[in-house]
Every structure is written in structure tokens, then in C-alpha cells.
Amino acid sequence: MQMPDPSFTFDGTPIPIKPGASVAAALTDQGHRAFRQSANGNARGIFCGMGVCQDCLVTIDGVPNRRACMSAARDGAKVETQVAFPSLKGAVVAPPPEAARILEPDVAIIGGGAGGLAAAIAARRAGASVVVLDERKVPGGQYYKQSTGLPPIDRQQQEGAELFREALDSGAEIIGSVEVWGAFDGPLFIADLEGRALVVRPRTAIIATGAYERPTVAPGWTLPGVMTTGAAQTLWRSYRTLPGRRIAVCGSGPLNAQVALELADGGAEVSVVAEAAAAPWHHPLAGLRATLLDPGLVRKGLGMLQGLRRHGIPMAYNTRLHRIEEADGALRMVLRDQRGNETSSIVDAICMNIGFEPQNEILRLLGADMAYDKTFGHLRCSRDEGMQTSIPCLYAVGDCTGLGGAPAARLEGEIAGKTAAAQLGCGDAYDLFAQKRSLKRHRLFQKALWQMYDVAPYSLSNMPSETIICRCEEITLGQITEGLSAATGHVGTLKRATRVGMGRCQGRYCGPISTRLVAAATDKPVDDRSHFAPRVPIKPVSIASILAAQEALNESA
């Protein structure tokens, strides 16, 4: 007797499940864009695709607040649209969590992307015991984007699979689906593993939490179907699901062209790639420097542009997203070029990326020194040559320290892993000359590369006052402007006056914008203290998990 194909229901409608699919991927594959309702009754769907924005929340088997992008689709599950104020009638009472697990490795690595896995391999080869905590079910990070039950889509994904296997073969313990929500002096980390608390007391720690994408803020950017470019790439690379049939990509940076080409190769109709910067040939010196430093990557970039032309996809340079509107179940996107000319198109999905924000909450929480980078509009963590921060026994690698790219993150991971192990008496760190030399070259390449793009923070002065800035609390630019006139002093004061940054994503999207608005209003430079103060928990977590962790800490005290 043939078994039925696996499926779950969404608001009573059967949804088939592809191998390894997340709930978000399965819903998107069937044309569903809206997953939850906001407090104001507005529909929301997948946006970041990596568990940061908290916009794709659904109720699964009676348990609310499950992130669809991070939840595996299960046969027979009952998934429902999450409403802002659900009734307690029929609510599921979660069972008591298991006792917390206590881990005491030589080296704890937070983040399993390129930098974290490279650090794990280096530390293990030096003889240190290593535990890697990663939020994804399968490590690999945003760059390698691993899949479950599917063959690698290209050499990049294959390289990530090989790095993951190498880390496993080294003897490092790698734990996926982990949310680190607490970091304390010691160092001490507290995390949640699908309802079970983890208490991690390492001798030293390496933070490799990466970055998340900076979106283009414009009217309509919270509508279902609007997502980051990385979210669309995750849907395709990890789950072989297109974000829609008709797609537009906008922002600035090489990721946009790469993903547009990948989606077109996968069968999508990409109407345009809107690039905020001028065409590359307007930056000849930066292009020449990049070519001399890494001709292979430059050839890859030129190949992507040729691929777009082969598909007939126009590159609209000096063009920005102006606004988005609903259009009979689709989206109407309006672009504006530097001359003020507007063009529009109807699409199913709009992908956006205009730079990155480092996920540096743990580093800031532990007091690591930071400096503001005006070019990229984000904080960079100060480190020595061995990747150690200003805090003893705390190392940091990759994009959580400031944008640097995956090749640089791998090299930084090797350096940090070996240096951290040597600090504990495991081997030495005297033969890192080649890695440091290559790292310098990669950093110079990145500097030349980003001179050809436009990812600096842009002004909101001409933005309509009704434009939403805080996605979670639905706070508009007009409300923030009013709050600035009443409480200008600091972004924390603005937060109390307007509730900006008080939502589930904890200010990860509206925080940097609010910080820059306060700086402009007060005519003060931005620094680490200009931002929202990081607080525990740094991610939403159940009270049961907090209590389990506290009980474990009390017993081990």
C-alpha cells in the first residue's frame, strides 16, 4: 500500500512538503505570502529568512510564535496564521522542559558559518575541546546556505558541505537549532535548544554570528512578498523554492546580481535588478585594484553580469526603490532613477539588499570595544592580530565584526581558532603568516569592491511620514519625528517616547535608523553608546527555558 505524500495543513488547507523544507518554504512554494497578522491587522510574511525579523511567526500544533523560516515542516502538523492577540481557548500547554544541559568546553564557538567552522577545525587540530552552537539546523551560514536531503546546487554550496564535514571529522561537537539568548562575564552563555536550556561555560569563546541584511526602507516594504535578497536565496538554495514567478531585485551590492541570476536560472522571471550605484565602469581605479587583488572573483562578477544579459534581465544603475503598493494579489514596485524618472512593474516578490548589519549583540553585551564605520554605517569590533577583542578570552571573526566577506571570515576563523587554543596551552600560534598575508589581501579586495557600490546609510528626509520604520511596533517616520522633538537626547529616550525598537526583533532593523536620526537631530557623531543598549534576553525565549537555565546555574553554584 502506497503511503500518502507528506503534508501539513495551513488554516485547514493541505500543504505538500518537499524533502527538508521549512514551513516558510512549503507555504511559499504553494503561493502563500501572508503568515501572520500584526497588531494593526496588517498581513506579514517571510522577510529576513534567517530568524532575525520575527515577521514570519505562525502557530504550529497550538503553539504560537514559531518562526516559519526556522521551523522544519512536519507531516501531519497543524499550522495556522498567527494573529496578534490569540485566544487562550484551546491553547496548548507546553510540557515541562528537560533539565538544562551544561557544557564546559575549552572553546565555545557561537555561529556555524564560514568563520565559525574554520575556527572549530583549527582549535580541534591544536588539541582543544570545541563546541559550536548554531541557530540553523544545518550549519554553513548565510554564505554557504546548506540544504537537507538535496544535492549541492553549485561549487559554493559544495564547499560549505565539505567544510561542515571537515569540522565534524575534527571531533568538534556541533549543535544546530540553538538560540543563544544570554551572554555573561566568565564567559557564560545560555541558549535554548528546541525548548531545552543549554548552559555553556567555556574557557574561551569565539563569536562568529555573522551579519543580517540591511533592507531598503520605503513605503510598502512590510508587505508580504517583500523580502531580503538573502531570504530569496535561502528559499532557492536550501529548499529549491522560488519566492515567486515574477521577481524584482533592488538595492546595492554583488549579492543582488548573484541571486537574480540564480533565480532566473531556476525558472523565475526577473524583471529588473535596480542598483543604487553607478555602473562598474564608472569606477575604473577601484575595478583595477579589485582585479589585481583577486582576478578570479572579478571574473565571477563579470560572468554574473553576462548571465543577466543572457536572460534579458536589465541592470538599472543609479536607481532606487521608491515605493511598493498592493496590486490584486501581487505587488506594484515603483523605481526612481537619479534624474527623478519613475518606472513601475507588477511582480510577485521584491528582493532587497543594500548592505549588512553585523550581529554584534553578544560582543556588545560582553563589553567588547566598538568603533563606528561611517562608510558602511555600522559598528566594527576592535581586535588584535589574533582576533582577540578587548575582552580577555573573547575572540570575534567574520561579519559580526564588520563586513568582510566569507573568504576573510574563514581566514579569521583559522587564526582565532589556533590562537585561542594556544592561549589555553594547546599547541602554538607561530605559523600563521600565510593566513595573515592572505587575510590582508582579502581585506584590500573588499575595500576596492565596496567602492563600486552604494551601501552607505541614506537620508530619509524625503520619505513620506507614514512610512513604517519599526516593523514590529509599526512605528512610522512621522511618529519618530514627533518623538525626536519631544525627547531628542538619546535613542533610548526616543524608544521610551515612541516604543520604537520594543518589538520582537529588538530593534535590529529600526535601531540603526533611529540612531542615525538622533545623531542628526543632536548634531553628535555616532558611536557604540549611540545605539540601543543590548539586554538579556537578546532573542525571544520561553520563560520555561529561562527557569530551567536558572535552576541549572543554582545547582552548579
Q: Which residues pair with 39 in a beta bridge?
A: none
User: What is the per-residue pLDDT for 237?
Assistant: 95
Task: Work out how many domains the chain is built from and give that number.
Answer: 4
For residues 180 and 258, membership in a common domain is answered with: no
DSSP 288-308: HHHHHH-HHHHHHHHHHHHHH
Q: What is the pLDDT of residue 552?
A: 83
pLDDT at position 427: 83
Q: Do 442 and 492 have their domain in common?
A: no
Is residue 29 domain-resident? Answer: yes
Separation of alpha carbons 320 and 252, rounded Å: 9
pLDDT number for residue 465: 95
- CA distance linking residue 408 with residue 254, whole number of Å: 16
H or E element, residue 157: helix 155-169
Q: Say whether both 238 and 349 belong to one domain.
A: yes
Cα angle, residue 539 at apex, residues 507 and 373 outer, rounded to 5°: 45
**187 and 147 assigned to the same domain:** yes
Q: Are residues 195 and 312 in the same domain?
A: no
For residue 88, is it within any domain? no
Task: Give residue 28's pLDDT.
Answer: 97
Q: Which of 417, 450, 483 is where one domain is finished?
A: 450
Does one domain contain both 245 and 317?
yes
pLDDT at 254: 96
pLDDT at 368 (0 to 100): 97
> In which region does residue 61 sit, left (phi positive, over 0), alpha (psi from -120 to 50) or beta (all else)?
left
Give the Cα separation of 286 and 265 in Å (integer). Answer: 29
pLDDT at 43: 96
Per-residue pLDDT, 88 = 59
Q: Are residues 420 and 366 in the same domain?
A: yes
- What are residue 333's phi and psi, to 5 degrees? -105, 130
CATH number at residue 57: 3.10.20.440
Give the domain range for residue 362.
Answer: 101-212+357-450
pLDDT profile of the chain (557 residues), mean per 10 = 82 95 97 94 96 95 93 96 73 68 96 98 97 94 90 94 97 96 95 92 98 96 97 96 97 97 97 96 94 94 96 97 95 96 97 96 96 93 97 97 95 97 89 95 95 90 93 95 84 92 93 92 89 91 85 80
DSSP β-bridge partners for residue 275:
251, 317
Tell whether 283 is covered by a domain. yes
Q: Same domain for 152 and 254? A: no
Query: Which of 327, 354, 381 is the endpoint of a domain?
Result: 354
Q: What pLDDT is recorded for position 553? A: 84
Q: Is residue 1 part of a domain?
A: no
Residues 33 and 16 in one domain: yes
The helix/strand/coil state of 537 is: coil
pTM of the predicted protein model? 0.95
- Model pLDDT, residue 29: 96
Give pLDDT, residue 430.
Answer: 81
Please indicate, yes or no, whether residues 405 and 292 belong to a single structural domain of this protein.
Answer: no
Whether 91 is covered by a domain: the verdict is no
Residue 506 covered by a domain? yes
Instruction: Identify whether residues 66 and 176 lie together within a single domain.
Output: no
Check residue 418 and give its pLDDT: 96
| CATH number assigned to the domain comprising residue 177 | 3.50.50.60
Full DSSP string of 448-517: HHHTTS--S----TTS-TT-EEETTTTEEHHHHHHHHHH--S-HHHHHHHH-TT-STTTTTTHHHHHHHH
Could you give the CA distance from residue 330 to residue 223 in angstroms, rounded to a whole number?
A: 10
According to the model, what pLDDT value does residue 87 have? 62
The answer to whether position 549 is within a domain reads: no
Please report whether residue 461 resides in a domain. no
How far is C-alpha 151 from the geometric centre of its chain's CA atoms? 24
306, 324, 354 — which closes off a domain? 354
User: Left, alpha or beta for 458 (phi > 0: left; psi -120 to 50: alpha)?
Assistant: beta
Q: What pLDDT is stored for residue 249 in this prediction?
A: 98
pLDDT at 89: 60
308 and 223 inside one domain: yes
